[in-house]
Amino acid sequence: MPDPALALYFRLLNEIGIIAQLSRTLLEARLPSGFVLAQFSVLNHLVRVSDGQTPLTLARAFQVPKTSMTHSLAVLERAGLIALQANPEDGRSKLVHITDAGRAFRQSTIEALAPDLGRIATYMPPDQAAKMLPDLESLRQFLDAERPPLDKS
């Protein structure tokens, strides 16, 4: 007989995964043509966490190969949404900074989501969403701290 606790936590992660997929699809539908969620996520990370990170640090934060991050950064740089600057502490690497255009792009994407977020607010009142946030943030922090070691390849 399966362990009920394991089933419970699998169900929790499964629901989060489904919600992540649905929200990804929703957000990508609001992005300008030629952009994908991975690129928006970099801009969002630079605003939410901090800019001035190296491409390798970003790749590790997103748990993607450095080549994937380099591609996303190249798209964002060509669009003028980020600027790559020499790293004063390590001349071999660069630091990623979000530009004013990048901040405006992020904000306009969030604003494009307004009708969708409004429908969510109709379904789930703000007080219910506010009650859920601390638990979700806590789980994210736990999972972030418990990441498996990165493959060095």
Q: What does the alpha-carbon distance between residue 82 and residue 37 come to, in Å, rounded to a whole number?
A: 16
Closest CA to 40 of 54, 30, 51: 30
Q: Which domain holds residue 72?
A: 4-145
Report the share of the chain in percent with pLDDT over 90: 86
Using alpha carbons only, give the angle 141, 84, 74 rounded to the nearest 5 degrees. 85
In a domain? residue 151:
no
Q: What is the pTM of this model?
A: 0.86
In a domain? residue 55:
yes
In a domain? residue 152:
no
In a domain? residue 150:
no
User: pLDDT tens for residues 121-153?
Assistant: 999 999 999 999 999 999 999 999 998 876 654
